[in-house]
Amino acid sequence: MPVNANSNSLDTLAGHVDQYRLWQRHLDMARIGATPLGGVHRLPFSKEDIQSRRLFLSWADARGFASMMDDFGNLFVRREGSESGLAPVVSGSHSDTQPNGGRFDGIYGVLAAFEALEAIDDAGIVTRRPIEVVIWTAEEADAQFGVGCLGSQAHADPDKLPQLMAIRNNQDISVGTSLAEFLDDHPRVSHRQFRSPIAYYVEAHIEQGPELEAQGKTIGIVTAIQGHRSFKVQIVGEASHAGATPERLRKDALVAAMEIFSELRKVFHDPQDIVRFTVGEMDVAPGAMAVVPGSVTFTIDFRHPDPDILRTLGDQIAVVAREKAGRCEASVSELRHSSPVQFTGPVPDAILKAVESLNYSRMFLPSGAGHDARYIAELAPAGMIFIPCWRGISHNEAESAELRDMVAGVNVLANTLVQLANL
């Protein structure tokens, strides 16, 4: 029998979260793109990601939930509210992974939201607003295209579409081409407009960091997503014979790159350990043992929660590259610049209220990783729920989370969604 949401129904809602169903669905998803070491290789726009969506849609269809998709492939599943004309509360994450990634990054947020929706349905709770579960497209596209969160960016700001579609990967394939092939093979569902109204957005996720586990806390209430700048550094020297070219005549691009990297490590050193500075890719050409490297290209990923530090430190990269290039030439291009996003207002307030009512241990913390919530916060009040992951390891086949923490996250999420759907 349907019941209107109140404190009593919220108290019983946790009893409708099915831990066995939640775990089994994670196992089912983990089989799609499974790797020999227990991870998942389910790249953006891939056949495997389409297969994961087919499975997800089969669960939604069995429940009688409506399904919709926008023109970037962002997939929404909807449980109606008593006032269907109201903007929905939306929760979800992504189903794609990094190359040889883990079983929980992204997909936990999708399956937690769907389990919350099923628990609300099983409890017979009537909400004023509809509640929707979303799978954002190509969140992990940075591994291929240098830019992530493509689907949420497109949905929040369709004016970015020409720019996003034109991005090309190392095989010179554009996002536009990859998306077109992806949509051609995708199951057909109802159409949804970009920037469709969203009342509130909540994203559940593994922390991808060590703080919750280290502090022995069950739930993280996310205060912000730190700012992010990424760069490509290109060093051009001169390829020459390794045995015949004397040191005084060499234009060794790899030596120049090492000098630049060493100086940048000094510039970005932070005794407080807040700065995040990573060189994640390096390409040395021509890549032969007997040839002095003629060119080197490497990427820099830099993150910080303070916008001023993000700006001033990030701007030092080009300065250092020019000063330390020696006989070579250095150029720096910025690939991405995302300002920090603060989470305040009704969503984190509702999360805190849910955590307190369920008596879980908690801590407030910023997110070191980027998430789709960054961009959806441009459309609606937003917030995030973190659960611990083993040793903070993520983007790795060893990524792991405990079922009890996964269930706790769903309990908090379900409670939060009902609160927001009745504001």
pLDDT at 290: 98
Percent of the chain with pLDDT over 70: 98
Residue ranges per structural domain of the chain: 3-226+340-421, 228-338
Distance CA 14, CA 412 (A): 8
Distance CA 58, CA 17 (A): 20
User: What pLDDT digit, counting tens, does each position of 98-122 carry?
Assistant: 999 999 999 999 999 999 999 999 9
- Exposure string of 272-291, with b = 16+ CB inside 10 Å and e = fewer, is eeebbbebeeeebeeeeeee
How many residues does this entry show for the chain?
Answer: 423
For residue 384, what are the β-bridge partners? 203
Distance CA 186, CA 201 (A): 25
Give the mean pLDDT of 75-80.
Answer: 98
Sequence-ordered alpha helix ranges (H) in 221-281: 253-267
Instruction: Please give the CATH topology (third level) of the domain spanning 228-338.
Output: Alpha-Beta Plaits (3.30.70)
User: What pLDDT digit, counting tens, does each position of 328-369 carry?
Assistant: 999 999 988 989 999 999 999 999 999 999 999 999 999 989
pLDDT at 146: 83
- Does 5 have pLDDT greater than 70? no
CATH homologous superfamily for 3-226+340-421?
Zn peptidases (3.40.630.10)
Question: Average pLDDT over the chain, rounded to whole?
Answer: 96
pLDDT category at 245 given cuts 50, 70, 90 is very high
- Exposure string of 157-183, with b = 16+ CB inside 10 Å and e = fewer, is bbeebeebbebeeeeeeebeebbeebb
User: What pLDDT digit, counting tens, does each position of 260-318 carry?
Assistant: 999 999 999 999 999 999 998 999 999 999 999 999 999 999 999 999 999 999 999 99
User: What pLDDT digit, counting tens, does each position of 184-237 carry?
Assistant: 999 999 999 999 999 999 999 999 999 999 999 999 999 999 999 999 999 999
pLDDT at 255: 98
